[in-house]
Amino acid sequence: MKSPSISIRGSGLTLSVSEGFSMIEIIVVLSIIGMIAAFGIIAGIDTFARYNFRSQTDTAVALLQKARSEAINNIGGKKHGVYFADTNNLILFRTTTDYAGREAGYDLKIDKSKAVTYTNACGGDQVVFIQLSGQTSACGVTLIEGSKSITITINSEGGINY
């Protein structure tokens, strides 16, 4: 299609008006949009990773609190604890001794993230709370994911801090 011509009377000048954007303008706009999208994707992935790590921390703390509460309330007349070494789950259990002597029918299994590693400074891979008192050995459970880590500390009276 031919560009329209505009004549200015009396001056003898003729101006051509072209419509649309040049190829350079389009490339610049698309590259700016691409950079904004790349930043958004990177920020979104980082936000999701932080959310997942925090969610795993909250789940571990909630299970520890539930085990302590059930032990204090003497549910089933036994000790309660949380087992961290299972490859797929965090396990809330009821026992007379430790995880090996638990009532398997009582187990409450909660999925855990494959990206998070749990290390337990309590000796073994479990925290067991004594019935009626909620006491346990003072220790800590550390969650590690990449460069992030957080330690959940448990004092000898069963207090849980993170």
pLDDT digits (tens, 9 = 90+) for 63-107: 999 999 999 999 999 999 999 999 999 999 999 999 999 999 999
* 39 burial level (CB within 10 Å; 0-12, 13-18, 19+): exposed
What's the CA gap between 155 and 110, in Å, rounded?
24
pTM: 0.77
Beta-carbon contacts of residue 40 (< 8 Å; ≥ 6 apart): none
Secondary structure of residue 153 in the 3-state scheme? strand
pLDDT digits (tens, 9 = 90+) for 112-143: 998 899 998 777 799 999 999 999 988 999 99
Domains for the chain: give ranges and CATH numbers: 31-161 (3.55.40.10)
